[in-house]
Structures are given as structure tokens and as C-alpha cells.
Chains A and B, each alone.
Chain A
Amino acid sequence: MKIKHFLATSALTAGLALAASAQASEITVVSWGGAYTKSQVEAYHKPWVEKTGNKIVSEDYNGGIAEIKAQVEAGNVTWDIVDVELSDAIRACDEGLLETIDHSILPAGADGTPATEDFLEGTLHDCAVANIAWSSVYVFDKTKFDVGPTTIADLFDLEKFPGKRGFRKNPKVTLEFALMADGVPAADVYEVLATPEGIDRAFAKLDTIKDQVVWWEAGAQPPQLLADGEVAMTTAWNGRVFNAIAGEDKPFEIVWDGQIWDLDLWVLPKGSENKEAALDFLVFSTETEQLANQASYIPYGPARKSSNALVGKYYQKDIDMAPHMPTADANLKNAVQNDFEFWADNSDQLNERFNAWLAN
């Protein structure tokens, strides 16, 4: 009798648990941490959890596709949806590590524009849907100069603007900055960089400031280097700088001339058990309203045109966010989009050259 009773209850609970799991699932969302993840939690995670009753585990990572590759190849996928850079999205997709995404499931913009037209050009890919555009810019300490730098050439001008420079220890972006500072128009940067002479020219330009450069690796470093007075100006990611200016009242100023912007995209590692829920989250978070909301936490440009029209103020202070976006017209005068194909082709070779150059 007792055993029968026990069996009956456990069958019941198992049934309930099954029913519950069919309704509410838990997905793991992986992103870059810091202020950026915070903006996603506020604008995407919280409303989605409220709407669907599902749960989200938020994890941080440092970019790259090594972890996705390891999980997919081992057949043990624990990351359901990941925020990646464009070059990584393309490569992972090429190598069959990601689920393909049917663009027809993306809803039209709030103003009725179909999704394929509402999303900015180049933001929809076979395996990835972009959420924001971010940018590599350079930034200086206003208290250090009477007349501050205004052009990308000033970043390399040690005579007019003496002082140490911060650069990311990576050829990507650094070489583009060097060429633009050497007078190459933004539109021709990758054409020049694709030639051996162009590469030599970029390294020759870097040679002129090499002994004044402090190299950074993590995104949190450049605002810190600038705040500590370790450098007079440094390259940085625009969201982190804005955070230091608006959130911590630092006397920094961004120079948008020669900015190199790039995309962050959602991808779904192949073989996740929560694919349905993750896809639902992807669709929800890239709707007009959510993308526009995110922009009030961090100045990264929404991937939808309809969202850009709705961008409001910073959540803490009375600051209009629109002029701080990489995609604002005023900031795009002399700008270039990171060429993922160029870097997919050349990053192995240029990394070797860059490291050899650093060591000599």
C-alpha cells in the first residue's frame, strides 16, 4: 500500500515537474559583462522574464569563439545564446558551430517597416542577428591640454600633443587608426591595408609613436589609464568612456574622427536544449522597444532604424543619448566599419607581424 502510494505521488510530482518545465525554461545568456551586460539585463532580461515567466542565467565572457567551439564539439552546450563580434559570428557560422536563423521570424519595426528593411544594412546574417553597433574611438583628458586634439592625425602627433598614448595590444583597429592618421581616407583603409605596401605604411606610422605607447588588453583598462594620468590620450570603446564621463564625472572627451565601428550580434550555439526559448529571447530583445531602451543605459547604437528614432535620455542624468551613439550622423563623418572579411583573412598573419614588431 505504502509503496503504491509513494509511487503515485512521485509520478504526480514528476508529471507536475514536466508540465512546469514545458511552461517555464531557464536559458543561459552570455555577454561581455560590466556596464554592457547591465544595459542588457535592464532592457532585455527583465521584461522578457516578466513576459514569459522563464528564467535567465547571465554569464560573462571575454569574447572569442573558443568556448562555443568546445561546447558544440563536445556535444554539451550550456550557453543558449551568446553576444559575439561580427568576425566571430561569421567564422563560427562558417565552421558549422551555430544554428541558422530564419529572418522571417523577426517582427516588423514599431513603425511597421518589415524587419529586413528596418535592420541597418549588414546587421542580419545567416546565423546572427545584430543588437547594437559599438565603436573604437580615442579619448583624451581635457585637463591635460589647453586646446584639445580633434582629428585622428592628432592621436599620432607627439609635437602638438605630447604625452603617452594608450593602444590596444592588437593589430585590429590599431593599424586602421595608423593609416587614417597617415592620411588614408576612411573609405579606402581596407583597400590600402590589403597591400604589402599598405601594411608597411601602417607599421611605419606606428613606429613614430612606439616608445610613447602604453598597451592595454582589457576594456576596463583605458579609462583607468587615463584617470591615473598614465596616458594623455588612449583608444577605447565608446561605451566604457561614456560610462566614465557620465557615471563617474571624469573630465574626458571623445574624438569621433576616424572612429571604427563594429557590431555585436546574438548567436545560438548549435545543439542547445533550450533552442526554442533562446530564439524567443533573441526575437524579443531585438524588437524596436527593447533596443531603444537599451540605449538609455549605454551609448551603443541600436541595430534597428525604428529604434534609433526612439532613443531617449541616460537613465541616471539629464543627458540626451542620441549624440553619443557611434551611429549618430555627426559622429559618422569620417568613420569606417570594421571589415570582418579582411580580418578573417589576415588576422593570423598580421598578429604575427604585430607581435614581431612589438618585440623588436
Chain B
Amino acid sequence: MQDSSTTTPETLVTADGVPLKQKLIQSTRRARLRALLLTLPLVIFIIVSFMIPIGQMLFRSLHNDTASSVVPNFAIAIQDWDEQGLPPEETIKLFVLDLQEARKKREIGKTVGNLATRINYEIPGSRSLFTSSARKLARVTEGPYTEALLDINKKWDDPVLWRSLKRATNDITPYFYLSALDLKYDDEGNIIEADELYQIYVSNFVKTVRLSATITLICLVLAFPVSYLLSTLPLKTSNLLMILVLLPFWTSLLVRTTAWIAILQTEGIINDILVFIGLVGEDGRVQMIYNQTGTIIAMVHILLPFMILPLFSVMKTIPPSYMRAASSMGAKTFTAFRRVYFPLTLPGIAAGTLLVFILAIGYYITPALVGGEDGLLISNLIAYHIQKSLNWSLGAALGTLLLAIVLILYWLYNKIVGIEKLSFG
């Protein structure tokens, strides 16, 4: 009998005497920590450049403290007003004093102009009422303040204006979400639908989603045969063709869009050819750009590589022998394609459509340039409110709604297709 088999099993130790198990835990912990440290820059990057801005956007869409920071004392006093007739003299006095103070200090973001802009969202045309009244109020040193205000402008005699002011002094407000959904407050403060002639956002959300879905579908139909061809050709040829697919990818977006204008416009290349071969007359030139057709053509071209690449990489991994096997078992070509090949490409289709759809829903430069009157998508409206009208709260509300729509669609997509099927290659 050998010695080792008779002795009781001792815990295994490493050369320096530490139990092996403990040493193992230590080393895996260290490895895990190192891995975590490696991802740390990315995590910080995502938090700083993605999570915080989105959090700010959500916050801004609900929170607007313009009114309460411009007229702080009035903001507190007005809460006791019963919304009938005009606010009491005491409250209006605070309003006038606050305006005078704000005008004197001219503090960034807390000026009369800021308040005027805020109220002008709800009551169009009231902006100049605030700025010009504040200028004239500088001379008013004693009461009665209500009278002084009405002397400056009769419009101050309107309870609707004061109700709107009272609403605006609440820092947390659903107002911007109401605007984003084409709703508004009526004179009594009830929520109603906005005038039909001024409704743009809801229909625009619908249009944007529909257009993105159309573009995704066309991309899929166009990309499928191309990817199949690329995946079956010999490597040398397919590499060459792949460069052709990727070439537009490396060209500036604006250059590509402008090229489409040159090609599609009524005096452009395609129309010239059509007229030359006699298909259409000089008067019958086809309008292919500055409308929805133009948007779809240009965006499909720009987004096509995002569909081809995942499809190609998935198709590349499907062995040709599968189709041969299906045929040998009696399947006709179409049946073999439908039952064998197509299901195998699903992960690529899933990835491609998701990618194209999400990119399409946020596009705005291309539609603006080639879309004509149809080229206004929800992202254009968001950009307009962020850059031009400076109604950041409304822009944020629209952005949040867009984010919510994408998340809901993603959730639906996951239910139907299953996210685990996704393959980007």
C-alpha cells in the first residue's frame, strides 16, 4: 500500500503555503477587478455623456423655474389668489417691485425678457407687453400699483393673463408635455385640444414613425439580394463589391445629399435622360425631389450599408450545403429558401432593421434639404426648439416622447422577434 492513500486528505496548498482555494478566489477577484477597471473609462464616459444629459432632458421637460426666479416674491403671494378678477393690490405691488428689481439686476436667465418669453408660449403676443411695461414701470415709485399697471397697458386687466402667470410660477409643470401632444389650457385653465390649424406634433410623430418604417422596409428588400450575392461570390470579387457598398459610407453626408439633388431635380440627370429618350415630354418632367419621394430615396441610400453589413455577416456563416441538403430531400428552390435559408438569416434581418429604423427616426438634415414641404420630421422640430426658438423645455418634452416611442417599439420588437436572436455579425 502506498503512503498517500492512507493519510487523510489535506487541504491543497500552494508553494507559499496559502490554501489553493483561497488563492484561487484571490486571483479571480483580482482579474475581475482588473476587468472592471478596464471598463471604468467607458462607464464614466457613458454616465457623463449619455446618462446625465438624458436625465437633464427629463428634468427640463417637467421643470421650468423661469417665472419663480424672475418674480420670486410675487410667485409666493399669487398662490393665495382665488383666480377671480384681478389679484389684490398687495400682490400686484410685489409683481411690480419684482419686475423693477429684475430689470435693474439684468441677471442672466432671470430677466424680464425671460419671463416674457415664458408667458408668450401660452399667450402669444404677450411678450412685448411684459418688456415694454417693465421699461415704463421703472418710473413708478408708489402705489396704487394696479392702477399704474393698467395705465401703462389695458391688457393687464385680463384675468386670463394673471391665471397664466400663476400657473407659470409652479416650477414643475405638465405644460410642455401638453404642448408636445397638441393640447393647451383654455381661458378657465382646463386642458383642451389646440386649434386644429396649430396642431403639428402628434401628426408629425406618426409621420416620422411611418416614414422610418417605410425606409427600413425598402432597405431590407434592396439589401437582401445584394448581401446574398456578396456572401456567395468568391472572396476576391465580393471584397471589391463590398468596397462599393462602403464607399458612400466614407463620403460626407452633405455631399451625398447634394449629389442626390443634382441627380433627381427636375432639370437633373435622370429627368434629362427621360426627356432625351422620349419617355416624358419637356413639360412632363417628373418631380422626384423636394417631396417625400426625395426623402425616401436619399435616406435609403444613406442607410443601406447599415442593413447590408449585418445581413452579409450572417449569410456568410450559412453553409451552402444546407440548401443542397434541403434540395436532396425534395424541397423545391423556393421551399428550401423559405424553410431553411430565410429562417437562418433572421438574426441579420433583426439587427439590420433595428439599426436602420432607429437611425432613420432621428434623421433631420437630409429630410430638411431634400424633403421640401414634407421634409419636416420630429427631429427637425426638436432641433428648431433647441437652436432657434430656444424653448428648451418643449424640445426636451418632444425628445423624451421620442425616446419613449423608441423604447416602446423596442419592447414590442423584443416580444415579436426576440432580442437574443440579434446578430450584428
Residues of chain A whose beta carbon lies under 8 Å from any beta carbon of chain B: 64-66, 69, 72-73, 91, 93-97, 169, 194, 210, 213-215, 217, 228-230, 270, 341, 344-349, 351-353, 355-359
Contact = CB atoms under 8 A, between A and B. Distances in A.
A93 B266 CA distance: 45
Nearest to A93: B113
Contacts of A215: 290, 372-373
A358 B120 contact: no
- In the complex, the 7 A-B pairs of residues with the closest C-beta atoms, listed nearest first: A94-B113, A349-B124, A95-B113, A96-B111, A229-B267, A96-B106, A358-B373
Interface string B379-398: 00100101111110000000
Contact of A349 (B107, B198, B381): B198
B131 A359 contact: no
A210 B373 CA distance: 10
Given A345-B128, A358-B373, A353 B108 contact: no
A257 to B, nearest CB: 26
A96 B114 CA distance: 9
A69 B121 CA distance: 19
A217 B369 contact: yes
B267 A348 contact: no
A215 B266 CA distance: 14
B114 A95 contact: yes
Contact of B376 (A72, A213, A358): A358
B243 interface: no
A94 B107 CA distance: 10
A338 to B, nearest CB: 15
B402 interface: no
Interface in B194-236: 197-200, 203-204, 207
Nearest to A97: B108
Contact of A355 (B128, B267, B381): B381
Nearest to A218: B369
Interface of B: 106-114, 116-117, 120-121, 124-128, 131, 197-200, 203-204, 207, 265-268, 290, 368-369, 372-374, 376, 381, 384, 386-391
A288 B206 CA distance: 55
A356 B372 contact: no
B391 to A, nearest CB: 7
B290 A348 contact: no
A95 B389 contact: no
B266 A96 contact: no
Given A230-B267, A270-B108, A356 B200 contact: yes
Contacts of B112: 94
Nearest to B204: A359
29 contacts: A65-B390, A72-B108, A73-B108, A73-B109, A91-B117, A93-B113, A94-B113, A94-B114, A94-B116, A95-B108, A95-B114, A95-B117, A96-B108, A96-B109, A210-B373, A228-B268, A341-B128, A348-B391, A352-B198, A352-B200, A353-B197, A355-B200, A356-B197, A356-B198, A357-B197, A358-B376, A359-B203, A359-B373, A359-B374
Nearest to A91: B113
A66 B384 CA distance: 10
B319 to A, nearest CB: 50
Nearest to A169: B373
B204 A217 contact: no
A348 B117 CA distance: 10
A165 to B, nearest CB: 12
B111 A94 contact: yes
Contacts of B106: 96
Given A95-B108, A341-B128, 4 more contacts: A94-B116, A345-B127, A346-B124, A359-B203
A264 B127 CA distance: 22
A341 B372 CA distance: 29
Given A345-B125, A356-B197, A95 B267 contact: no
Contacts of A214: 290, 372
Among A64, A95, A359: residue with most chain B CB under 10 A: A95
Given A213-B373, A217-B368, A230-B266, A345 B290 contact: no
Contacts of A217: 368-369
Nearest to B368: A217
B156 to A, nearest CB: 16
A355 B125 contact: no
A66 B290 CA distance: 28
Contact of A344 (B111, B128, B203, B384): B128
Nearest to A350: B124
A94 B267 CA distance: 47
A210 B374 CA distance: 12
A228 B387 contact: no
Given A91-B113, A96-B109, A345-B124, A66 B387 contact: yes
Given A94-B116, A217-B369, A228 B198 contact: no
Nearest to A352: B198
